[in-house]
């Protein structure tokens, strides 16, 4: 079974702190993604990576950065956390099956910034 | 730009069929997906349909695609309490890197 794990399920940080969210997948997938999920807005793509050290901005990259030093690990960094970054953060990795890309998701990290 | 829309809530009685609807805007989408999110969990892929198909059936799930109207639906037959969850529709954009555009999600509540 594909497994995508995230470093924390719940996290509480203070405004201005630097925050690291880590994601690890065990299926040798090329592509990895970070989303944030907010009620009524669905999932919005923050950043994605298609290879080690490669990254592309998603729809809402402002205030975030990412790092992919190893194929299995994709980190999301909040340089200076703000209250409007309180959200659920979901990591995913993907493979191609019968022409369709399947994204596999981690359980999510609920981040609260106070 | 690309957009995917879904109604936010659906309530059904146990044993009835549920139909969750979705509309999308990108006519070049290659695949369309349905994901399920149970409370406290990440998203789980339920099923997907290739854009040149109009129907796909998988046990209790039936996906209907009307490409002309850019309308996608997910029908769950004999809905059970374990089907209570949020269901997300997503379109896969043509081009590389497997970008998906998600709808806001439909919360399905199943009551006895």
- Inter-chain touch B42–A90, beta carbons under 8 Å: yes
- Inter-chain touch B103–A94, beta carbons under 8 Å: no
- Inter-chain touch B103–A41, beta carbons under 8 Å: no
Q: How far apart are CA B77 and CA B87, in angstroms?
A: 15
- Tell me the pLDDT of chain A averaged across its residues: 92
> Please, what is the end-to-end C-alpha distance for chain A in angstroms?
37
pLDDT classification of A2: cutoffs 50, 70, 90: low
pLDDT (tens digit per residue) in B21-40: 999 987 777 789 999 999 88
Q: How far is B78 from chain A (nearest CA, A)?
A: 26
- From the list A58, A103, A107, which residue is nearest B41 (CB)? A107
Q: How far apart are CA A72 and CA B78, in angstroms?
A: 40
pLDDT (tens digit per residue) in B46-100: 999 988 888 999 999 999 999 889 999 999 999 999 999 999 999 887 666 668 8
- From the list B35, B42, B105, which residue is nearest A107 (CB)? B42
């Amino acid at each position: 079974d594909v497994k995508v794990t995230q470093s924390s399920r719940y996290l509480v940080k203070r405004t201005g702190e630097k925050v690291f969210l880590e994601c690890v997948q065990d299926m040798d997938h090329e592509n990895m993604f970070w989303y944030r999920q907010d009620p009524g807005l669905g999932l919005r793509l923050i950043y994605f990576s298609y290879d080690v050290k490669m990254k592309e901005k998603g729809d809402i990259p402002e205030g975030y950065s990412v790092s992919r030093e190893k194929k299995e690990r994709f980190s999301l960094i909040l340089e200076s956390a703000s209250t409007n970054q309180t959200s659920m953060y979901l990591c995913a990795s993907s493979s191609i099956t019968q022409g369709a890309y399947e994204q596999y998701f981690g359980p999510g990290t609920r981040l609260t910034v106070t | 730009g690309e957009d995917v829309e879904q109604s936010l809530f659906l309530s059904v009685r146990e044993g009835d069929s549920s139909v969750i609807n979705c509309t999308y805007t990108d006519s070049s989408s290659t695949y369309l997906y349905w994901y399920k999110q149970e409370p406290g969990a990440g998203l789980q892929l339920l099923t997907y349909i290739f854009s040149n198909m109009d129907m796909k059936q998988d046990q209790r799930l039936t996906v209907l695609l009307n490409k002309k109207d850019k309308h996608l639906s997910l029908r769950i037959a004999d809905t059970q309490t374990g089907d209570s969850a949020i269901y997300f529709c997503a379109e896969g954009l043509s081009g590389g890197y497997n970008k998906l555009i998600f709808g806001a999600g439909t919360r399905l509540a199943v009551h006895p």
